[in-house]
Amino acid sequence: MVKAEVATGYAKHGNVKAEVATGKTEALTSCAKHGNVEAEVATGKTEALTSCAKHGNVKAEAATGKTEALTSCAKHGNVKAEVLTGKTEVANIQAEVATV
């Protein structure tokens, strides 16, 4: 009983790693505010990656919504986004330009 409270108290110092079985997710989420901590929560992982994707050094690829992310990134010149649906339309437009 007292062990968890003591461990939590020591966790305020940088050289102590406190992992409480209950509430571990909350502790990691709180620590994730600092740059030297990586918190990956199984539930909500996609949301965390999406939030981190605002920074240039993070690559977030969510299986669901990947097309939307690529479409959004395509606004920048250094990103190549090829959406499978709609690819034919692009090819048709290029063919029309070539024939003119």
Structure tokens, 11: 């966790």
pLDDT tens-place values along the chain, 100 residues long = 455 555 555 555 444 444 444 445 555 555 545 444 444 444 445 555 555 545 444 444 444 445 555 555 545 544 444 444 455 566 666 666 676 6
Distance CA(11)–CA(9), nearest Å, equals 5
The CA angle 91-77-94, to the nearest 5 degrees, is 15
Structure tokens, 20: 């409480």
pTM of the model: 0.14
Every domain of the chain and the residues it spans:
6-95
